[in-house]
Structure 1
């Protein structure tokens, strides 16, 4: 007699429903046949009757069985007919496949935001409308007609955009490259997806920062990679840890976000940058540098990326417009050796035949326009103002309950809670109070940390949002 597996993570009622569906599909319970009663089946399987009730409800919802008062529960005759036929078990398909869903906390945040649009949002890593140059982009679209050709774009990306990026990278990032070494993507995440799928193999070991937004991206686990931690302190990662990981695990690649790191906001010191490059070169390890925040330095200082001082060509450099212009443009880029660009462009062409040419044309025009520099200056000023509003609110609402370092760029504030609280309970309590944020465990840290992202929330909502968070926290530490 089959019994449900009590050690499985799948709920008992789902196991029972799947088992019964299989027996029905095999003809052991023909169409119209009577199933055992809920009480009898519960006794046979050694479960509570309520568990069987849930299993029957699941099968009824798929039209596989039907229940009538006084007649018991039978296999549906209408669904199966003379020759058994039934629709696929879509739930089983949805739970299958090798590409993992988002982590539960992020799915819960997305659900809360969709259900309550007025929710104060300290979770989303996108720019608010007032931080994006909406009027300037609209003006460019009016001035230029982007309809000359609407066929498939070059798989490597729109050539004038790559040419504009060559000049941009030289002027603003200190990186000398050519258009043939640039691949246009839909953003940093597509760049990372292509790297993990095409340049690495299941079982490969890679080093990522701890905490790191990479932990929030199931694409790493979906690719079958083994992740090893590079702890981040106030000065960034400790380069000597790379040597240790290489000796123990033979890591094949390093992923880093050295300028105003997500989620901690830390800035890798010059001494550690030089040491990181030295060790990577010594070991022949490629570095993937994601650099979304350098140009948000609040003082407008030049923050050199690792790629700008990479004498040996160890670095694949990733950037995007998402954090400096507009998230909705969905334009990112990768600078890498030409052989790598060709490999990834070929893979991307198999996925989508290349990005839409129109946003690439808009991005190219904006990049070379007189609007770009003023946008950066305005963005820095407004982000700094929002950061200061957040600090003021934290000091007012959470004295003695929270610790943080003040970031000098970027869009995140990484906070340690002094009292011990459960991440899940704190998030749910925050949602009840009308505010969302990201628990630190999403990024691989221990519980008791939170990331507040201040680019999305309106200025007038930052104070009330932190007040709501403080109320939620105090509910749990009474």
Structure 2
């Protein structure tokens, strides 16, 4: 067979493989009616073919009535192999749209998917680089557990007691006096927010939070029937004087705040502002959710005492986690509050998942009780300082005339304001096309100004420079 015929046969085989692949996804229900299938670019990459081969396969599937191209959406599943024989094919996408829990915003879904692409320069990820993962200590921890562990069973509703005891001792070192009975082990801080939203707040309640805030990119409260009301912030944190005004507008309210190394701005609420917030919370009878998952990631100086450390009246529900300091893979966090509240939320958690992973809870116990965790966090701070300083250096070299920023005292992020008029959605798309993933400010409720959030925690030092350099060229091309 000559080379020309062989190439033609290979192309035929490839487009048939692509068709069979897509058909199998549809037939097994993985891609339901109404779902968007992979893009032409992704299919070409997966099967290592050019786009024309992919187009041939898609045209055949369209001719068979399985998919349909829609403007601005790509190719959508319109039938499956059995529904072609019926008059009323089931569109599960209709059910998705009427579910109680709202989907993430489209751009947030795109970012979440792109964060798994190792070919991108990850300036979006809010997690530590694998270079900072303590692999040797983790292996030793798991080995130690293997020699001690017995059978696995369900833990008590509040979580593995030795872990709650270890968390209690750890929090005492942070100035927070709390007994194990007032601690609920959760699968990360996000689960704690979900439990609060369905267990403590009535539909129609309002969450008062910093604007911008990480919470605007989620629908955890809105899905439970709550609304969000933004409170302005400055370099010292939430402007507390606006809270009583908001309370008059929204009778049933709760405050959500990230006082230490705020996401996305990186600011730290001053000690004075924390005292004011507690005072207003008490006077206005508004409880507080304190999300303190970044507290240990200080670089220049330790942040002021947590609100919970000053809480004398049970006003504050306190969230902590190992996701940002150790690894998100453990899925271990904690919720601290009045015992009656913790008992109630523990019951709701048992109804939803019957407890967090027993293995993860034991690993976390070992880390907190052995001193591994405290040593690790010291090392992480040193590495974050190097990374932050490197990113600042490249920002000053490439973006000084194009943007402004405050140097964060800790945390994982730098909040950058672009000078001039730039379409942030266009900036995001062009950066992604150049292999750079970032978070545009509008997903955090920042609807004024030109903001992006960059992370210095995950990308390599070389990628930090490459990413900022590419951004500078794109911004220059967009500024009007």
**TM-score normalized by structure 1?**
0.82
> Aligned-residue CA RMSD in angstroms?
2.2
Once the two structures are superposed, residues 259-296 of structure 1 have per-residue CA deviations (whole angstroms, 9 ceiling, x without a partner) of 11111111111211111111111122110000011111
Tell me by how many angstroms 1:53 deviates.
8.8
Which residue of 2 is the match for residue 189 of structure 1?
Answer: 190
Q: Distance in 2 between matches of 1:231 and 1:459?
A: 34
Secondary structure of residue in 2 paired with 1:296? coil
Which residue of 2 is the match for residue 90 of structure 1?
Answer: 92
Secondary structure of residue in 2 paired with 1:294? coil
Which residue of 2 is the match for residue 28 of structure 1?
Answer: none
Structure 2 residue ranges without an equivalent (≥5)? 1-32, 35-67
Which residue of 2 is the match for residue 289 of structure 1?
Answer: 290
Contact 2:129 2:458 in 1 (8 A): yes
Q: Distance in 1 between matches of 2:69 and 2:206?
A: 45
Q: Distance in 2 between matches of 1:361 and 1:277?
A: 35
Tell me which structure has the larger Cα radius of gyration: 1
Contact 2:166 2:368 in 1 (8 A): yes
Q: Distance in 1 between matches of 2:411 and 2:343?
A: 32
Contact 1:295 1:303 in 2 (8 A): no
Contact 2:152 2:358 in 1 (8 A): yes
Q: Distance in 2 between matches of 1:221 and 1:54?
A: 30
Tell me by how many angstroms 1:357 deviates.
0.4
Once the two structures are superposed, residues 441-460 of structure 1 have per-residue CA deviations (whole angstroms, 9 ceiling, x without a partner) of 11011251000011111222
Q: Distance in 2 between matches of 1:370 and 1:346?
A: 31
Tell me by how many angstroms 1:149 deviates.
2.5
Does 412-421 or 466-475 show the bigger shift? Answer: 466-475
Contact 1:407 1:413 in 2 (8 A): yes
Tell me by how many angstroms 1:134 deviates.
2.0
Which residue of 2 is the match for residue 349 of structure 1?
Answer: 350
- 5 Å-filtered alignment, 1:375-386, equals 375-386=376-387
Contact 2:318 2:337 in 1 (8 A): yes
- 5 Å-filtered alignment, 1:94-113, equals 94-113=96-115
Contact 1:300 1:377 in 2 (8 A): no
Contact 1:433 1:472 in 2 (8 A): no
Tell me by how many angstroms 1:58 deviates.
8.6
Which residue of 1 is the match for residue 54 of structure 2?
Answer: none
Does 146-155 or 226-235 show the bigger shift? Answer: 146-155
Contact 2:257 2:291 in 1 (8 A): yes
Q: Distance in 2 between matches of 1:334 and 1:359?
A: 16
Contact 1:127 1:327 in 2 (8 A): no
Q: Would the alpha carbon gap of residues 87 and 365 (structure 1) be closer, same or farther in structure 2, given more than 3 Å must change? A: same
Once the two structures are superposed, residues 168-219 of structure 1 have per-residue CA deviations (whole angstroms, 9 ceiling, x without a partner) of 0001x11001111000001110011111111112211220110100101111
Matched, 1:153 2:155: yes
Q: Distance in 1 between matches of 2:387 and 2:120?
A: 18
Q: Distance in 2 between matches of 1:472 and 1:58?
A: 29
Once the two structures are superposed, residues 208-258 of structure 1 have per-residue CA deviations (whole angstroms, 9 ceiling, x without a partner) of 110100101111221121211111111111111111111222242100011
Q: Distance in 1 between matches of 2:131 and 2:125?
A: 15
Contact 1:300 1:380 in 2 (8 A): no
Secondary structure of residue in 2 paired with 1:222? helix
Which residue of 1 is the match for residue 397 of structure 2?
Answer: 396
Q: Would the alpha carbon gap of residues 60 and 416 (structure 1) be closer, same or farther in structure 2, given more than 3 Å must change? A: closer
Which residue of 1 is the match for residue 329 of structure 2?
Answer: 328
Which residue of 1 is the match for residue 26 of structure 2?
Answer: none
- Match of residue 475, structure 1, among 450, 458, 477: 477
Q: Distance in 2 between matches of 1:230 and 1:204?
A: 16
Tell me by how many angstroms 1:474 deviates.
2.2
Q: Distance in 2 between matches of 1:440 and 1:196?
A: 25
Q: Would the alpha carbon gap of residues 435 and 309 (structure 1) be closer, same or farther in structure 2, given more than 3 Å must change? A: same
Contact 1:126 1:322 in 2 (8 A): yes
Q: Distance in 2 between matches of 1:143 and 1:92?
A: 50
Contact 1:258 1:289 in 2 (8 A): yes
Once the two structures are superposed, residues 308-356 of structure 1 have per-residue CA deviations (whole angstroms, 9 ceiling, x without a partner) of 0112110000000011111111100000111111111111111111011
Which residue of 1 is the match for residue 431 of structure 2?
Answer: 430
Tell me by how many angstroms 1:152 deviates.
1.2
Contact 1:232 1:238 in 2 (8 A): yes
Q: Distance in 2 between matches of 1:63 and 1:369?
A: 55
Secondary structure of residue in 2 paired with 1:165? helix
- 5 Å-filtered alignment, 1:268-287, equals 268-287=269-288
Contact 2:268 2:303 in 1 (8 A): no
- Match of residue 79, structure 2, among 59, 62, 68: 62
Secondary structure of residue in 1 paired with 2:296? helix
Which residue of 1 is the match for residue 85 of structure 2?
Answer: 79
Q: Distance in 1 between matches of 2:242 and 2:75?
A: 50
Which residue of 1 is the match for residue 170 of structure 2?
Answer: 168
Secondary structure of residue in 1 paired with 2:400? coil
How many residue pairs are counted as aligned between the two chains?
411
Q: Would the alpha carbon gap of residues 63 and 149 (structure 1) be closer, same or farther in structure 2, given more than 3 Å must change? A: closer
Q: Distance in 1 between matches of 2:434 and 2:139?
A: 37
Q: Distance in 2 between matches of 1:242 and 1:209?
A: 11
Contact 1:152 1:354 in 2 (8 A): yes
Tell me by how many angstroms 1:144 deviates.
2.1
